[in-house]
Amino acid sequence: METKIKAWWLGHSAFRLESPSGKVIYIDPFLKDNPTTPEQLKSADDIDYILLTHGHEDHVGDTLELAKANNCKVIAQVELIHLLKSDGLDENLAVEFNKGGTVHFDDFSVTLVNANHSSSFGGRYAGEAGGLVISFEDDICFYHLGDTNIFSDLEIYGEIYEPHVIAVPIGDHYTMGPQEAAICCDMINAKMAIPIHYGTFPPLTGDPEEFRSFTNEYSDTEVVIPQPGDQFLG
């Protein structure tokens, strides 16, 4: 797929995106303690924005440290932002929103949509889990489903946002497994799906090749299976 944006999978649910204007966006930057993230990618000094799907430690990850080091904006659900500020996030860097809301930055926008999952941060309630629809001006729409199982809203999101690329959890145990994830691909009808949230820890047994097989059976979405650190767009 030809795009102006660039995208890398950093392992688990973490991504690095670069917008057409060169803005660097990290999603769910669980890096330092992520056993699958390559060592050279466990930190970064050029981040402009951090986007979070929900408050669990394997998604918030190194957000506070990275935000301080990069002086970058952090965008997340309102209760989670309040917890991050109480733990040291600079108020000037915090951007809160809620489900259905869209915030605009430079050459892209981010919409918080539903996900069927829980959310806490440091044992404290962190609002509801969500997914992130990232729309780049004159380019593609990237939809990170966050942690979720299958639910009927996904078909509506496919119709409204028409995402080109979706990041889909397949690991089972804490999220949906490969078969549910493949049916989600049929519901959303994106051109490309990237499997995430698998293989990081022993309980996350979902197999990306099984996910590809189910997806080929159920939909026309192409499954691309990068290795952690691989660039898959741009």
108-158 tens-digit pLDDT: 999 999 999 999 999 999 999 999 999 999 899 999 999 999 999 999 999
Q: What is the distance between the alpha carbons of residues 66 and 231, in angstroms, rounded to a whole number? A: 21
Asked if pLDDT for residue 16 goes beyond 90, the answer is yes
- At 62 the pLDDT is 98
Cα separations (Å) of 104 from 13, 75, 162? 23, 11, 18
Tell me if 177 sits within 8 A of 204, measured CB to CB.
no
Query: In this structure, are strands 102-105 and 108-114 parallel, antiparallel, or unpaired?
Result: antiparallel
- At 1 the pLDDT is 79
Mean local confidence (pLDDT), 180-195:
98
- Domains of the chain, by residue range, sit at 6-226
Mean local confidence (pLDDT), 31-37:
98
Tell me if 83 sits within 8 A of 70, measured CB to CB.
no
**Spatial CA neighbour of 133 closest among 49, 5, 27:** 27
Mean local confidence (pLDDT), 185-195:
98
Mean local confidence (pLDDT), 49-75:
98
Mean local confidence (pLDDT), 156-182:
98
Asked if pLDDT for residue 190 goes beyond 90, the answer is yes
Kindly report, residue by residue over 206-226, the tens digit of the pLDDT: 999 999 999 999 999 999 999
- At 97 the pLDDT is 98
Tell me if 56 sits within 8 A of 147, measured CB to CB.
yes
> Hunting for tokens 């997340």 — which residue is that?
76
> Does CATH number 3.60.15.10 belong to domain 6-226?
yes
Tell me if 113 sits within 8 A of 157, measured CB to CB.
yes
Mean local confidence (pLDDT), 60-75:
98
Please state the length of the chain.
234
- At 138 the pLDDT is 87
- At 41 the pLDDT is 98
Model confidence, pTM: 0.98
- At 101 the pLDDT is 98
- At 95 the pLDDT is 98
